[in-house]
């Protein structure tokens, strides 16, 4: 395991700038997001328990980074489609006009609530929402049993729904 971490650390120090430049170009100049994605890739590499061969590390890193970038653009496209749909829908009353939120505003409300939730529920909910992990993958990542992960995810969802419902209805 120590050899595994040293291999990843060595690759990280030698190729960090190269990876950030690659991601920045793919994200049309968004260096902050690129740095975050590179960090996320290496965080995920550190939790992999299977041995990684030095010859395959470069391909693995670039594959993981490309998938992160694709996910980023997929989310961005969905947000833009949602906002266009909302923008071109003609509300019939004044109240409906004020109740329309953009996807960005909803994400801000969600982040606000997640920051104030208990860590046990918010960590499970973040893994599910942002990384798309299933309950079994969350349980494995957090080293908790399946039922606990399932219960925390359900509790977190209920808490977020009860927080967002009045805000979006008004």
Break the chain into its structural domains and give their ranges: 1-89, 94-170
Instruction: Give residue-wise pLDDT tens across range 84-95.
Output: 776 666 555 544
Range name among 20-24, 42-46, 74-78 with the lowest pLDDT average? 74-78
Instruction: Give residue-wise pLDDT tens across range 17-33.
Output: 999 999 999 999 999 99
CATH classification of 94-170, choosing from 1.10.3720.10, 1.10.10.10, 2.40.160.10, 1.10.1740.10? 1.10.10.10
Residue located via tokens 């995810």? 153
Whether this prediction's pTM lies above 0.75 is answered by: no
**Integer distance in angstroms from the first to the last C-alpha of the chain?**
53
Q: Is 85 helix (H, G, I), strand (E, B) or coil?
A: helix
Query: Exposed e or buried b for every residue in 132-147, given b needs 16+ CB within 10 A?
Result: ebebeebbebbebeee
> Encoding tokens for residue 124?
């499970």
Query: Exposed e or buried b for every residue in 60-97, given b needs 16+ CB within 10 A?
Result: bbeebbeebbeebeeeeeeeeeebeeeeeeeeeeeeee
> Rounded to whole angstroms, how far apart are CA atoms 52 and 50?
6
């Amino acid at each position: 395991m120590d050899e595994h971490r040293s291999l990843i650390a060595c690759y990280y120090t030698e190729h960090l700038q190269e990876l950030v430049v690659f991601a920045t170009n793919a994200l049309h100049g968004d260096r902050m997001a690129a740095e975050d994605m590179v960090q996320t890739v290496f965080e995920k590499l550190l939790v992999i328990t299977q041995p990684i061969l030095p010859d395959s590390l470069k391909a693995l890193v670039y594959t993981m980074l490309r998938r992160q970038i694709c996910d980023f653009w997929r989310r961005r496209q969905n947000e833009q489609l949602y906002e266009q749909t909302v923008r071109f829908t003609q509300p019939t009353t004044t109240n409906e006009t004020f109740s329309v939120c953009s996807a960005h505003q909803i994400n801000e409300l969600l982040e606000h609530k997640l920051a104030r939730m208990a860590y046990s529920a918010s960590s499970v909910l973040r893994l599910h929402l942002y990384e798309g992990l299933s309950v079994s993958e969350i349980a494995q990542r957090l080293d908790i049993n399946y039922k606990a992960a399932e219960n925390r995810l359900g509790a977190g969802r209920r808490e977020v729904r009860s927080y967002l419902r009045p805000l979006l209805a008004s």
